[in-house]
Amino acid sequence: MLAEGWQAADLHVHTLHSYDVIPTRQVDPLVMYLKARRAGMTYVAFTDHDTMAAYDQIGWTREGLVPAVEVKILDPKNVGHTIHINVYTLDRRQFQEVQEIADRARDIVTLTDFLRTEGLPYTFNHPFWHEPDEEPNLEAVIDVARLFPVLEYNMGRIGRINAQALRLAESLSKGITAATDSHIGEIGRAFTLARGAGSFRDFFDRIAARESHLCPVDLTLPRIKEEAFLRIRQLFDKASWLQAKDSLTMDTGNAALDGLIKRVARGHGAGVSRLPRWLLKKAVEALAGSGIPAALYLRYQRGLADRVGRLLESAELAA
C-alpha cells in the first residue's frame, strides 16, 4: 500500500498495438491495465508507437487511465537521428496534430512548442537511444534535452547508460522518471513515486520539479536472454496470438538475429520458409541462448555510456 498522498506509475509500456510487440494475451491492453492496478499503480499509461488504438479498444476514461502515446521523430536539422517522446493526457485531435508535426515538419522545436502550448506533459525517452542503422549525434541529444521537462531512466538500458541519463537530468535541473518500456507485459516492474493532489497533472508536475522517487531496474545479461527466449517462444506460437500481424520488428541488439526473427514473423525470406519450423525454432533459440547477441548488445551500450560520459564531462567543464 502506498503511503498517504503518494502515487505510483510506470509511464512507458507497450501493448499488442505497437508494431514491435508480439500480440499475445499478456500484452492485451485490458489485461495490462488490470495487472497494473493490482500492482498498485495509481496511473496506467499505454505508450504504443504512434498509435492510441489501445484506448479505442478498452475506452479512454477508466479510473487512473492516462491517454498517452510514444512519438517517433527524425529531425534532420536539430538532432540528426531518431528520438522517441512520450506524450500524456492528449485527445484524438492533439494526437493527430502531434503526428502531423512529427511526420511532416520533422522539427523537435516545433513539436515541443506545440506540447507546451497545449499544456501536455511529455518526456524524453531513453535519451541516448537511436535506430540500429543510425549514427547518434550525442552532442545534439545533450542540447535537445533542454527542451524537455522530464528525462527517462529506462529498464531496457544498462546501469551505466541510465547513470548518464541521471547525470544529464541533474546538470539541467530536469525531472526524471523510471519506466519499464516493456514489450512483454511487465508493467510496474520499474516505476516512479511522487506525491500528487489527485490528478495525473499534479503527479507529473512533481516529477518535473524533481520531487519524486525512482524505483528503477537496469538491463542485465540474464534479463536480456530471458526476454529473448520469451519472445522467440511467443513468435513461433502463433496460435496464441490475439491478432494477426503482417510485419514484426524486434530489437535484440543483434542485426542478424533481428533480421531472422523479422523474416520468421512474415513467414518467408531467403531460406527461412524452406526449413522445418521446429528446426528453425531450435536454431533461433540456440543463437539467443548462446548469449552472443546479448553480450554484443551490452558491449555496445557500455561503449556508448563511456562516450556520453566524456561528452557530459566536457560540457560540465565548459560551464
Q: Using one digit for the tens of pLDDT, what is the confidence trace for 18-41? A: 998 999 999 999 999 999 999 999
CA 206 to chain centre: 21
pLDDT of residue 283 exceeding 90? no
Q: Across the chain, what does the average pLDDT equal?
A: 90
Sign of the torsion formed by the C-alpha atoms of 198, 201, 205 and 211: positive
Res. 153: pLDDT tops 60: yes
More confident residue, 278 or 154: 154
d(CA 294, CA 241): 26
Q: Supply the pLDDT for residue 229.
A: 84
Q: pTM of the predicted model, to two decimals? A: 0.93
Tell me what pLDDT residue 291 has: 81
pLDDT at site 257: 60
Q: Which three cell numbers stand for residue 1?
A: 500500500
Judged against a pLDDT cut of 70, whether residue 269 lies above it is answered with no
Mean pLDDT along residues 56-84: 97
When pLDDT is cut at 50, 70 and 90, the band that residue 315 belongs to is: confident
Lowest-confidence segment of 79-83, 190-194, 231-235, 297-301 by average pLDDT: 231-235
pLDDT in tens, 207-227: 999 999 999 999 999 988 888
Q: Give dist(CA 138, CA 123) in Å, integer.
A: 18
Q: Are 55 and 46 in contact (CB under 8 A)?
A: yes
pLDDT at 147: 98
Region 58-81: mean pLDDT is 97
pLDDT of residue 21: 92
Looking at residue 248, its pLDDT comes to 75
Cβ 190 vs Cβ 217: under 8 Å: yes
Residue 256 pLDDT grade (very low, low, confident, very high; cuts 50, 70, 90): low
Q: In this model, does residue 262 exceed pLDDT 80?
A: no
pLDDT exceeds 60 at position 189: yes
Q: Tens digit of pLDDT for each residue in 108-149?
A: 999 999 999 999 999 999 999 998 889 999 999 999 999 999
* Cell numbers given for 106: 520533422
pLDDT band at 268 (very low <50, low <70, confident <90, very high): very low
pLDDT reported for residue 270:
45
Q: Any idea which of 17-21, 36-40, 237-241, 251-255 has the lowest mean pLDDT?
A: 251-255
Give the model's pLDDT for residue 287: 76
